[in-house]
Every structure is written in C-alpha cells, then in structure tokens.
Amino acid sequence: RAQPTADLRGRSVLGSFFHAPDPDAAPLLASALIEIDLDGRIVSVTGTADPGYAARVESASRSGSLTRVDGFVLPGFVDLHVHAPQYPQLGQALDIPLQDWLQRYTFPLEARYADLAFARHAYGALVDDLLAGGTTTAVYFGTIHGPATRLLAELCVARRQRALVGKVAMDHPDLCPISYRDSDADAGLHGTRSLIEEIRTLPGNDGLVQPVVTPRFVPACTDRLLQGLGDIARAGHCHVQTHCSESDWAHRHVLDRFGRSDAEVLDGFGLLTRRTVLAHANFLSEADMDRVALRGSGVAHCPLSNAYFAGAVFPLRAAMQRGVRAGLGTDISGGPSASMFDTVRMAVAASRMLETGVDPKVSPEMRGRPGSRIDIRAAFHLATAGGADVLALPVGRFEPGCLFDAMLIDPAAPGGTIRLWGGESEDDLLATLLYTASRPNISSVWTAGGAAR
Ligand code: GUN
Ligand code: FE
C-alpha cells in the first residue's frame, strides 16, 4: 500500500485512475497498472482487458517494484494563473473595482516583497497549501523584485512543485506608483533576463521550474518594455503570461491608448506565442479569438475572480470552438479560493449562468448565450490536460510519455467530505469526487513520480 510519501519512480502502480484527455471523455482506468521510469515518466498504462495484464502485474509483484494504491488517482491540477504575493490578502477586499483594488491593496502588498523574510513566510505557505490542494503545476506571477521571485522558484524546487515563475514587469508611470514599479523599461528588461538565467541554473532544478516572461498587463507597461519582453521571450524560448481584456476598464484602457484590442497589441509586440498564457480574456472579440488560436496561445479562465473583478463571464465554449486552448486559474487573490476544486466547480456554475442568463424578468429566448455550458468532466479536463496543453507540458494525463504528476483521493479519509454509497456509475463517481472532495481527502501528491511536499 502506498504511504503518503511513497516515491513511485522506477515502480509500477496498481490502482484506479481517472483522467480527462478530452473535454468530453473522462474514463476510469480501473485496476490499471502504470509503469513509471526513474525520471518519473510513464512508460506504460495497462488495463485489465489489455493483453499481458496479468503477467505484468505478476512480474512487478515478483520483482518487488509493485505499489498498490487504494482510492482514486487523478492527474495533479494545473493552475494557470496565480499571483503568489497576493496570498496574504486571499478573501479580502473583493468589493471594490479592479483599478482601485490594485492601487489601494495589491501594489502596497506586493511592494512588501522587497523583504525576503516576509517573502519566505508567504511563499512557503502558498506552495505548501497549493500542493496539499492537489495543484502540481502552478503558473506564478511574482513581484517586481528579483530576489523574492527567485526565492519562490527555489521553494518550488525544494518542495517539488512544477512551476512557471515570472518576475512582474511594470514600468508605466501613469499607472504604477513610484513606490512599486520598475524604475524604467531597461530595469524591467534586465530584471527579467537575470531571473530567467537564475531559474534555469538553480541547483537541483531539472526543468521542474521554468521562467516566464511576465508583463503585468498592457496598461502597466510602456511600449519599450512590451517590445523588449517580446524579444526576450522569442530569443530565450520562454513562456509568456499577462492579463488580457479582463474588465471593461482594462479592455477600454488599451483601446484608448492604441486604438486596437489587447490581443492585437500583444501580438504586435511578439507576446502571443504558442507558450503564452492570457489571463481572463473575457472581452476577446471573435477576431481576437481567431488571432489567439492562430498563434497557439491559451487562456487562463478564472471564473471565481471574474465574478468579483471582471463583471463578466469568459465565453469559454465559444473560444474553444474557435480553436483557442484553455485551462483554469484561481487568480489568487482576485479569486478568494486557492483550491482548484473550487475553481472547477465555479467553471461549471459560471457556464450554466452564462447559458441561461440570470434575470427571470427577461424572456427565456433573450436572456442567455445558448451552447455555453460545460459539464464537470469538461471542467476536469481544463484543470488538468487542458492546462497542460496551454503550457505545452507533458503532464495532465495518464499516458505513456507523460510525467506522473498526480494526487491520490481517499474517499474514506478521516475528516474528509466524500460519501460513496456503492453502485455509482463511472460518471457519477467522478462527479462525486470532484464536487465533494476537500483537503483531507487528498492523501498523496506526486510530481514526476516523486512525493511532493
Ligand atoms: N490586472 C493587472 N494586475 C492584476 C492583478 O494583480 N489581478 C487581476 N485580477 N488583474 C490584474
Ligand atoms: Fe490576475
């Protein structure tokens, strides 16, 4: 039986696995055998009906490399959008407009990460809490500070969380206070370049943690900074993350400055790439969606945060139908939960409200956007394989060639909130796990086959 800290590298795992390689397919691999190599990569997945199943189980058992797990193994979650420094204000200040929230709460909090002791305290707690919640990959905005952001990357390496970590670049004097901004474009570019190099050469980092070019959002950056960051991303083959068309205010700000949409402007600066994550993207036009799809960029759909700050629901189905890649993000602390379970649940609920509308006084034909709903399996896909596809990382599914990033759900864990009654169908079983699990039910977490935390 697997201990919470069992290292699965070089072992064969016998258990029941759910994954969602497609938005409408979330199969249960019951009593399957997954063979993992010494690097944590899945070598084979053998189901009970596959030829050679019994012989493989027998052979792994005889050689002492078999680990049996009780419960259900899910791919670890990919959280595409986390503001690491905002964790200390999780659940706070959710009632004011985005632009005021940034100036009054968020920039002053982020400025405190000049203090490395404060950064260590907050970032250590965040990485631990996300891993405990089943988030094996996180895409982090840090702050403008090199040392604190490097420390975040070090903590991810030490605790075995797969992560993309970015130094926030923001230099526009009209938007950013003098107390919290890069002193000019060159400072932002130099800090970005240095951190990329530092993360890639961190001791013990075998690719688990990667750098990401991080213009905060167009309004916070001068043209020179945006252009330079696009150049760095291309030359360094780096991921990119930014906010795109999040709220009426942010969307309008870019239109007024450039006479073009956020997506067009980012594209013009070379910031829409196959490895770009656009947070929110609520106000993308159809032409924007086509552009994003053409570049191969993806959207971090942040349904909880959008309810509080964007005043909008991302038209997820429409974007996916136009070929836009998508995954989910908590947007800590724009969203008040660090849990990807909560985000999965909210993604379904938001899509249902978008589909049917919410004002009963409007006629049924007028009030919603037909065809918008997603079900829990699609949300599970977005939180795992979908997010991995946005990042072009080989995780999020149980298939040969993928890294074994996973969590074990123990429905019977003391203090847990899952109740199984027996006789559930596969679909009902998965839905029950996703809707009712809480942290005590997550009994183990692995990245690349090694125990995380
Ligand atoms: N736009 C620019 N910065 C931020 C941020 O920190 N959070 C959110 N939700 N939107 C932003
Ligand atoms: Fe955000």
State residue 5's pLDDT score: 59
Residue ranges of domains in the chain: 12-75+396-451, 77-391
Is 80 exceeded by the pLDDT of residue 4?
A: no
Indicate which residue's Cα is closest to atom 9 of ligand 1. 334
State residue 72's pLDDT score: 98
DSSP sequence for 274-315:
TTEEEEE-TT--HHHHHHHHHHT-EEEE-HHHIIIIISS---
The mean pLDDT of 130-138, rounded to a whole number, is: 98
The mean pLDDT of 131-160, rounded to a whole number, is: 98
What confidence tens digit (pLDDT) does each residue in 55-110 have? 999 999 999 999 999 999 999 999 999 999 999 999 999 999 999 999 999 999 99
Residues with CB under 6 A from ligand 1: 83, 98, 102, 106, 216-217, 243, 246, 305, 309, 331, 334
Pairing of the two strands 12-18 and 28-36: antiparallel
Q: Which ligand is nearest to the CA of 101?
A: 1
The mean pLDDT of 242-249, rounded to a whole number, is: 97
Is 70 exceeded by the pLDDT of residue 2?
A: no
Q: If you measure from the C-alpha of residue 250 to the centroid of ligand 2, how many angstroms do you get, rounded to a whole number? A: 12
| Residue partners of 185: CB distance under 8 A and separation at least 6 | 171, 222, 224, 225, 228
Mutation test of ligand 1: which of 81, 82, 83 has the most ligand atoms closer than 8 Å to its C-beta?
83
Pairing of the two strands 450-451 and 442-447: antiparallel
Q: If you measure from the C-alpha of residue 420 to the centroid of ligand 2, how many angstroms do you get, rounded to a whole number? A: 36
Task: Give the C-alpha separation, 72 to 424, whole Å.
Answer: 14
Task: Give the C-alpha separation, 263 to 293, whole Å.
Answer: 11
Is 70 exceeded by the pLDDT of residue 441?
A: yes
Write out the two tokens for 19: 């994954």
Angle at 128 between CA 306 and CA 35, to 5 degrees: 100
What confidence tens digit (pLDDT) does each residue in 273-324 have? 999 999 999 999 999 999 999 999 999 999 999 999 999 999 999 999 999 9
Q: Which CATH superfamily is domain 77-391 in?
A: Metal-dependent hydrolases (3.20.20.140)
Is 80 exceeded by the pLDDT of residue 1?
A: no
Do the beta carbons of residue 439 and residue 128 sit within 8 Å?
A: no
Task: Give the C-alpha separation, 153 to 198, whole Å.
Answer: 9
State residue 55's pLDDT score: 97
Question: What is the residue-averaged pLDDT of the chain?
Answer: 97
State residue 364's pLDDT score: 84
Instruction: Indicate whether this complex's ipTM tops 0.95.
Output: yes
Return the biggest CA–CA distance within the chain: 69
Confidence of residue 201 (pLDDT cuts 50, 70, 90): very high
The label of the residue with tokens 């659940």 reads: 91
Write out the two tokens for 356: 């049917």
pTM assigned to the model = 0.98
Task: Give the C-alpha separation, 376 to 357, whole Å.
Answer: 19
Is 80 exceeded by the pLDDT of residue 29?
A: yes
Q: Which ligand is nearest to the CA of 279?
A: 2
What confidence tens digit (pLDDT) does each residue in 361-401 have? 988 888 899 999 999 999 999 999 999 999 999 999 999 99
Q: Chain centroid to CA 153: how far?
A: 16
Candidates 3.40.50.10470, 3.20.20.140, 2.40.50.140, 2.30.40.10; correct CATH number of 12-75+396-451? 2.30.40.10
Closest C-alpha to 382, from 17, 18, 23: 23
* Strand, helix or coil for residue 287: helix
The mean pLDDT of 418-426, rounded to a whole number, is: 97
For 393, phi then psi, to 5°, come to: -110, 140
* Single-letter amino acid code for the residue at 176: C
